Structure 1
Amino acid sequence: MIWLLIVIGMVLLGLFYDLHQKRKNFPPGPTPLPLLGNLIPLILSFPGYELMHKWRKEYGDIYTYWMGPFPIVTVNEINLVQQMFVQDGDNYTDRASFGKLTETYRGGNYGIVETNGQVWREQRRFTLHTLRDLGLGKERMQEQILDEAAYLLSELESECKAMGKAWPIKYTEKTVASVINLMLFGYRFDKERETEFYRVRKMLDAQNEELRNPILIAFIGMPRWITKRIPFINRKLELMYKVRDELFLFFGEKIKEHRDTIDYSSDEVNDFCDAYLLEMHKLRDDPTTSFNDKQFVNVCLDLWLAGLETTASTMAWGTALLLNYPEVVKKLHAEFDRVIGSDRMITMQDKNELHYLNAFVSEVQRWANIVPQNLLRKASKGAEAAGLLIKADTPICAQISVLMTDETVFPDPYCFRPDRFIDENGKLKSFKQFLPFSIGKRQCPGEGLARMELYLFFANLVHRFNITPIDPSTIPSLKRTMKNVVKPEAFPCILERRVVQKI
């Protein structure tokens, strides 16, 4: 009997800690369940935008909810976001992580996305400088993207002629991967090398399929000796580590190819890999440098995945939206006929005159909103915001998904309406709440590349083709589920060369 009372007492103490004690150091928010936190309501309302808005009304512009055992302090008002992450940005540059998983996966404090301190600053500074030198946002980069766009349009047209239909996602992912791989390693995934891309894509798809279940978050912060004894969790983590090893092997092979041929006496740089190897060589006797082989493969992982997943997914959702909104396609065609007036490729030089196209691309990014939960940061030191104390090391984020679905700024926020980005004079309209690449010092370093890719891809795809579904049953669904939150299910469509109407 006494042991039963002890067990009951321990359970009650655990519940008291979980439901009260651990929450007192954070801003108020919905009551979490033991171990699961607020995962259940988030899953039931997936992707959770409306629930987050409900919590904001109940608890204020800054509130705390729990992803499993992990607290997330979320900031949901644009002036507070700018105050905290821009004006006081130095206090919120460090990345918060889910327990020891990040360190275990990376092998330490490596990469750009999840590193902190001097390692993050040194790696980010070098990466941004090198990408600019390689033409990011310049004519050289536009030429490379236009070349890939031309290959893409040709492949889609050929498949449609041969099969009577085309599968855009299959080709857009390879196109985006070619752009980033060309920048990193100096080659694209042409017919001879496309099997490399499909090898990596298959691994990533398998990993994403296993890790999609949000219940996993409740366990990933536990010590490995515990998770190994939970078959459901262990199987998913083992697959994740296996995919990591395969990705590191892929990047390691490319680095070795460059290392075997590089001339360290030359300053000539053809791609990011060359630049990184030269920097490693230059700093080889510096004991404080963060440039080493482990860091290199982790930086490659960050750049390759960030450059592929978000842009390709946005392209996939945008193409699905075109099939669901034929009136939008007509408006785009009318603008192309009026401004371009020929079948030439559209370039960045046309951008300032293509207001509806720019509005369309912005609305695709806002509507797609492919990261429901923004990446976490943490406060370096204690601070006050909206009358609340944010203690040091508090996991915190600017909740971009809430800002971009704020109905006071974007009426009918879950409806797709490019015209919301057009002002009364027919010009492009801007919103402070439109932050698809995040905000502050952790803003996406590849923003310039992604913007250029999205603009040139959509411009030339819609300019070249009439895009129609095969029949009503093949119009892709726009409903979000845990299975397709990142990108829609693959879908076919008909692409026919259109006749440009000169106006």
Structure 2
Amino acid sequence: MEWAGVVTLLLVICVSCYLLISSKRKRLHKGKLPPGPTPLPLIGNFLQIKSGKTLKYLLKVSSGVAFSNGERWKQLRRFSVTILKNFGMGKKSIEERIQEEAQFLLEEFRKTKGKPLDLTDPLRSALSNIICSIVFGDRFDYEDKEFQALLRIMNNFYWELSTTWSQLYDMFPTFLKYFPGPHTRVYDIMSHLMCFIAKRVKKNQETLDSNFPRDFIDCYLIQMEKEKGNPLSEFNFKNLEQTIFNLFFAGTETSSSTLRYGFLFLMKYPEVQEKVHEEIDRVIGHNRIPNNEDRRQMPYTDAVIHEIQRVGDLLPMGAAHMVTCDTEFRGYFIPKGMEVCPLLSSVLHDPTMFKSPNVFNPENFLDENGRFKKNDAFVPFSAGKRNCLGDSLARMELFLFFTTILQSFQLKPLVPPEDLDPTPLENGFINIPPFYQLSFIPR
């Protein structure tokens, strides 16, 4: 462990001990709280969470991570969903953008001429371009230096977010910001991305035409102007930058990582890939571009994509929820104001809801007649009002990229299928898929 990190940890422990000795906290309620280990003041159960094993620990006890809430969350979410719909989320226009980007991606794969390729960067570029077209009004060339710099920042943030140190800083930024150490890396990375976003916002400001909004930023700036006299408005530059950041993170890394998991599973289970190819050939053929309506006639492919999301379990912990009033639940007392984090992983692997909860099996989403079967335990986009605001966009992206690539290529691993290991590289608040190479063989 780095010395700066050790010093920071010791300071946290000292302050915690001081608070424990010098003050007595009033009990929130005489009722019975949910079971769990006794937390220390200030740092809670942090010392009991091992690096890389956060999810395993949280499956045994209750815990949560803070995100924005209240009126700010309501205003920004409502606005974001509306604007995304206006710019085509769930409509034909966004479908055309995805179809176009999928063709650019196919060209990248054709250039390899069957040679091994790590598809991490091409997938990340393609999925990020969908968000870029919505937020910035245009896509980037895959080799664009500014675009590549943006993707590197996003990737670094994605990795750092799974470290235990970053979680400590996320919980106590006001206190820990005064001390150096590895806990600050995630916010250092975020500051670079915010600078990139701020430059794009400034560029939009200089060329804004309120009568003809070009993208998400323009719409937000117009809304800011409308509400500049409202003291309760949450529309400001800081929230604009944070909202754009959230859109990029959700729309780039999560979707591209899901596809990486998906192609790995298809190579590990070649019989599944063969069935998907057969359904694509039968429903779509080789001469037209897949569209989102094809999903209705492709139950097996739809089931495979759902199973990829279930087993990939990319975000095992959903967004934190706050209890709005004192609540009795199954004999336990949960006080008002307590943050509760739903462990989506426990639901996605529930043996009472899936016949094969711990193995990759598309039959989990098919009935006895081979028709697609919905399952209430399928919650990769979280649950309740705080579910992913871009879930319909993500569903369309996954289906169109998945079918477009498999329409044109067979995925060939460099090792025997049984030697492919889908174990995540990081198993914390995010499950990061392993790196691998494959060959794209034209069909």
Report the TM-score when normalising by structure 2: 0.86
Distance in 2 separating the partners of 1:217 and 1:305: 17
Distance in 1 separating the partners of 2:141 and 2:263: 23
Q: 1:399 to 1:225 in 2, by over 3 A?
A: closer
8 Å Cα contact 1:355/1:422 also seen in 2: yes
8 Å Cα contact 2:277/2:406 also seen in 1: yes
Identity level (%) = 29
Distance in 2 separating the partners of 1:417 and 1:45: 25
Shift of 1:146: 0.4
Where in structure 2 are the equivalents of 1:22-421 lying within 5 Å?
27-32=33-38, 34=40, 35=43, 37=45, 40=48, 47-48=55-56, 52=59, 55=60, 64-65=61-62, 71-72=63-64, 97=66, 114-161=67-114, 164-191=115-142, 194-214=144-164, 217-218=167-168, 220-222=170-172, 224=174, 228-229=178-179, 231=180, 234-237=181-184, 239-264=185-210, 266=211, 268-421=212-365
Shift of 1:38: 7.2
Equivalent residue for 2:434, pick from 451, 464, 489: 489
Q: 1:282 to 1:404 in 2, by over 3 A?
A: same
Shift of 1:375: 1.9
Q: 1:335 to 1:220 in 2, by over 3 A?
A: closer
AA partner of residue 432 (structure 2): K
8 Å Cα contact 1:46/1:480 also seen in 2: no
Secondary structure, aligned partner of 1:398: coil
AA partner of residue 189 (structure 2): V
AA partner of residue 167 (structure 1): D
AA partner of residue 103 (structure 2): A
Bigger shift: residues 218-227 or 350-359:
218-227
Secondary structure, aligned partner of 2:274: helix
Q: 1:385 to 1:440 in 2, by over 3 A?
A: same
Shift of 1:286: 2.7
Distance in 2 separating the partners of 1:180 and 1:478: 27
| Deviations, residues 310-367 of structure 1 (Å, cap 9, x unaligned) | 1111111111111211111001011122222333221112111001010001001111
Shift of 1:12: 12
AA partner of residue 411 (structure 1): K
Secondary structure, aligned partner of 2:341: strand
Secondary structure, aligned partner of 1:129: helix
Q: 1:287 to 1:151 in 2, by over 3 A?
A: same
Distance in 2 separating the partners of 1:361 and 1:278: 38
Q: CA RMSD for the aligned pairs? A: 3.1
Shift of 1:279: 1.3
Distance in 2 separating the partners of 1:124 and 1:223: 24
8 Å Cα contact 1:32/1:38 also seen in 2: no
| Deviations, residues 87-117 of structure 1 (Å, cap 9, x unaligned) | xxxxxxxxx62xxxxxxxxxxxxxxxx3222
Shift of 1:426: 1.3
Distance in 1 separating the partners of 2:30 and 2:345: 26
Secondary structure, aligned partner of 2:371: coil
Shift of 1:243: 1.7
Shift of 1:446: 0.3
Distance in 1 separating the partners of 2:250 and 2:102: 19
Bigger shift: residues 178-187 or 246-255:
246-255
Shift of 1:396: 0.8
8 Å Cα contact 2:39/2:45 also seen in 1: yes
Q: 1:328 to 1:492 in 2, by over 3 A?
A: same
Aligned residues: 425
Shift of 1:481: 4.2
| Deviations, residues 185-219 of structure 1 (Å, cap 9, x unaligned) | 11112146x32232122223334444433255456
8 Å Cα contact 2:425/2:432 also seen in 1: no
Distance in 2 separating the partners of 1:467 and 1:23: 58
| Deviations, residues 136-160 of structure 1 (Å, cap 9, x unaligned) | 1011110000000111111011124
Q: 1:486 to 1:196 in 2, by over 3 A?
A: farther
Where in structure 2 are the equivalents of 1:409-448 lying within 5 Å?
409-448=353-392
8 Å Cα contact 1:156/1:167 also seen in 2: no
